[in-house]
Structure 1
C-alpha cells in the first residue's frame, strides 16, 4: 500500500505545482481554493503514509518471529 500512498502524494504535489503555475487564471475564475485542496491532500497523505509504514514494519517483525 505504501507505493499507492506515495503515488497519491506525488499526484497532489504535481497538481499543486500546476495550480501554482495557473495561479492568475485561478484567481480570475475564483478557484484559488484548488491550491489549498492540493496542499491538504499532500499533507493528509503524510500521516497515512506513516501509518502504512508502521503497519508494514509490524508485519515484517511478526513474520520474522513466526519463522524463528
Structure 2
C-alpha cells in the first residue's frame, strides 16, 4: 500500500503546484494543502508499521528472511 500512498501525496503536491501557478480559487489550494498535511504523516506511519511488521514476522517465523531493498 505504500506506493499508493506515495503516489497520492505526490499527486497532491503536483496539483498544488499547478493550482498555485494557475491562480486557482483558494478553496482548491486549501484542499491540496490539507491532502499533503494528512498524507505525509500517514505515509510515515505506514513506513514504520511495515518495518515493524517485517521485524516481528522474522522473529516469529525463522524461515522468513528480511531483505533490504535500499
TM-score for both structures, normalised by structure 2: 0.79
**Greater helix percent: which structure?**
1
The corresponding residue for 2:19 is 19
How many residues are paired up? 62
5+ residue gaps, structure 2, are 64-70
| Deviation of 1:11 (Å) | 0.2
- 2:42 and 2:62 map into 1 onto residues whose CA distance is 29
1:48 counterpart = 2:42: yes
Counterparts of 1:1-68 in structure 2 under 5 Å? 1-23=1-23, 26=24, 31-65=25-59, 66-67=61-62
| Deviation of 1:51 (Å) | 1.4
Point out which structure has higher relative CO (alpha carbons under 8 A, 6+ apart).
1
